[in-house]
Amino acid sequence: MKNMPWRDFTALVASIGVVGLGLGATIPLTALTLDQRGIGSGIIGIITAISAFGILAAAPFVSRWVAGHGPRGCMIGAILAAALSTALMETTDSLLAWGLLRFAFGASMGVLFTIGEAWVNKLAPENSRGRVVAIYTTAFTLFQLIGPALVAAFSGKVALPFASCGALFLLALPGMLLIGGGAHGHEDEPSVAWQRILPRMWMIAIGAAFFAMFDTVALSLLPLYAMRHGIATELAVLSATVVLVGDTALQFAFGWLADHVGRRKVHIGCGVAVCVLMPMLPFAAGTPWLWWTLLLVLGAVAGAIYMLSLVACGERFQGQSLVAASAVVNASWGITSASGPLVTGVLMQTAGVNALPAVLWVGAAIFIASAAWDRN
């Protein structure tokens, strides 16, 4: 990985890791607090999903904001907004206010994800882009995994939990200030509308959408699916964690493979692997070693589909077009992370519990089909 600006990259990864830590802590803290207040699971689900709509709402404007204020200025503003919107949840019990604050929080996350993903692609040398992006996504996921453990460890021991959680985001600011080259980005370039670049990135957008659906369905419904197949509650709850561990542990390996044999081959291969492995899920539930192994591998290949979608953005786009492409990726994420669990949950109730692997299989198949129309 020659010609890599390591200081800027390390600072960016450290900042986005802290954001992942804060995000990983706010989601369970919000759900736990609402549950302790006696709020029903349906309302909790709605409050949680509102963040995805915030991501979606911010996506069309990020390219314009970066053109006007630069990537660092926008990311610092988004970090401050995320900290403030989280801390203000300490001051009210109004569900409407919480909904508005979670929407603002989601919009902040959308700005951070869009610019961070575009920025890491800008920093990455062409011949090692897969590994560089994999380090970035691994760091984010790893810190996100630590967030719920942090909430569990300090539950009931912190007087102002939301204010403390908001303060976590401020720890990302020093990294932002350390970034040198490229901190001002492309203010001299006009912003690029997402409609201009979407026809060149259907496979990328669908890959991101698939992983968003996979990730949110695994976190919200996989434990329930496991329990319906007779797995003990304590182990069923661990199922989502095992998926995330697989995602975290093997991203660099897939990035290395993409750099050496070609991103497109690995990208499509991961989609094929999901389609081959997903039908095994109902049969693996009765065999513990197969169940855990399958979840690890599924988490790894599904996560690689998203990571390689980011790599593909860097291969195809530069400047403001890259920012706009990253915004499309995050809009795709927002759409399916909000709708995926809802659709899957309804189908599990009406068509049976095995609707879960069926929905994910269809999502992966659509991703593979999109590759047939994508020759880049």
**Is residue 183 one of the residues assigned to a domain?**
no
The answer as to whether 182 is a domain residue is: no
Average pLDDT over residues 115-122: 91
Confidence at 342, pLDDT banded by 50, 70, 90:
confident
Amino acid at residue number 167: A
* Half-sphere CA count of 214, side-chain side, radius 13 A: 30
As a whole number of angstroms, the distance between CA 227 and CA 239 comes to 10
List the CATH number of the domain containing 64. 1.20.1250.20
Q: For residue 297, is it within any domain?
A: yes
Residue 180 inside a domain? The answer is no
Helix (H) or strand (E) holding 28: helix 6-36
181 found inside a domain: no
Q: What is the CA radius of gyration of the chain?
A: 20
> Coil, strand, or helix at residue 2?
coil
Phi, psi values for residue 183, rounded to 5°? -65, -25
Residues in contact with 201: Cβ distance below 8 Å, sequence separation at least 6, in sequence order: 312, 313, 316, 317, 325, 328
Closest to 102 (Cα-Cα) out of 94, 59, 209, 330: 94
CA distance linking residue 358 with residue 347, whole number of Å: 10
> Residue range 30-47: average pLDDT?
79
181 vs 242: which has the higher pLDDT: 242
pLDDT band of residue 2 (cuts 50, 70, 90) is low
Beta-carbon contacts of 297 under 8 Å, excluding residues fewer than 6 positions away, are: 246, 273, 277
Lowest mean pLDDT: which of 57-66, 93-102, 231-240? Answer: 231-240
Q: With helix as H, strand as E and coil as C, how does 179-248 read?
A: CCCCCCCCCCCCCCCHHHHHHHCHHHHHHHHHHHHHHHHHHHCHHHHHHHCCCCHHHHHHHHHHHHHHHH
Distance, in Å, from the CA atom of 249 to the CA atom of 296, rounded to the nearest integer, reads: 9
Closest CA to 208 of 310, 58, 320, 342: 310
Report helix, strand or coil for 94. coil
Mean pLDDT along residues 189-196? 73
Q: How far is 374 from 47, CA to CA, in rounded Å?
A: 37
CA distance 80 to 83: 5
CA atoms of 14 and 10, how far apart (whole Å): 6
The mean-pLDDT minimum among 100-114, 183-197, 310-324 falls in 183-197
Domain assignment of residue 277, given as a range = 6-169+189-372
- pLDDT for the residue 41: 65
Residue 153 lies in a domain: yes
Check residues 209 and 39 and name the one with the higher pLDDT.
209
Residue whose C-alpha is closest to residue 107's, from 323, 313, 329, 331 = 331
Contact (Cβ atoms closer than 8 angstroms) between residue 341 and residue 216:
yes
Residue with tokens 């795709």: 332
- The pLDDT score that the predictor gives to residue 98 is 93
Residue 177 counted as domain residue: no
- Residue 1 maps to a domain: no
Q: For residues 146 and 260, which has the higher predicted lDDT (pLDDT)? A: 260
Number of structural domains in the chain: 1
pLDDT value at 157 more than 80 = no
Note the pTM of the prediction, 2 decimals: 0.88
